[in-house]
Amino acid sequence: MMERRFDPDYREALLSARRRERWDPMRFLARLDVQAGQTVLDLGCGPGFWTLPLAEIVGPAGTVWALDVSQEMIDTLTARHPPPQVRPLRGELPAIDLADGSVDWIWAAFVFHEVEPPQRLAAEMRRVTRPGGQVAVLDWRPDAVGDGGPPRSHRLSPAQVDAYLQAAGFQNGTQIYQDDGAYLITSVQGTSQKPV
């Protein structure tokens, strides 16, 4: 599993001006219906590229759990002096060390393809998301035009990600964005209990 992970030695590249220009986090996140006061889990937060914009959106009454497996990533995020609503959390995915039904949104940017087994990650995402809560998965297209990103053999198609989410109990999976390198899927947690 380690070979699937982004090397934390290159964490500064995740905060580059080029990457900020490419993704424009505040504008990109505007596609989602994240609201002030909500609790968001930034899954695989890295050095906080998406974490800080999410914190701005939820505001001081909200919470952003910033979870990453890498202590170096968490330390880099902490060194950026995030606001108090950001709560760094080190954890080994697919396990998510949060209470059942404790988050309104899960933001999973470029992390789903790194985690094995993806079925367990989807189940954990459902467990920690409140009924009616939502997930957004931004990940690399297996048929991407460019050479950036992880090896193509590690990538999951939108259909695969949607299937994992549906099997875990998410509903209404919708692909709301795609360019020549990546896609974004959102899905809603079903309100009925999934049989065990």
Domain layout of the chain by residue ranges: 2-189
Residue 188 has pLDDT above 90, yes or no: yes
Specify which residues 187 forms β-bridges with.
135
The whole-angstrom separation of Cα 63 and Cα 123 is 22
Q: Domain 2-189 has what CATH class?
A: alpha beta
3-state secondary structure of 103: strand
3-state secondary structure of 121: helix
Q: What share of the chain is helix, strand, coil (3-state, %, to 5)?
A: 35, 25, 40
Average pLDDT estimate for 98-120? 95
Burial 68-80 (b: 16+ CB within 10 A, else e): bbbeebbbbbeee
Instruction: Compute CA distances 156 → 22, 141, 193, whole Å.
Output: 21, 7, 27
| Cβ-contact 86, 52 below 8 angstroms | yes
Tokens for 85, please give them: 């609503």
Query: What's residue 114's pLDDT?
Result: 87
Tokens for 54, please give them: 């999410």
Among the ranges given (13-27, 43-57, 152-166), the one the predictor scored with the smallest mean pLDDT: 13-27
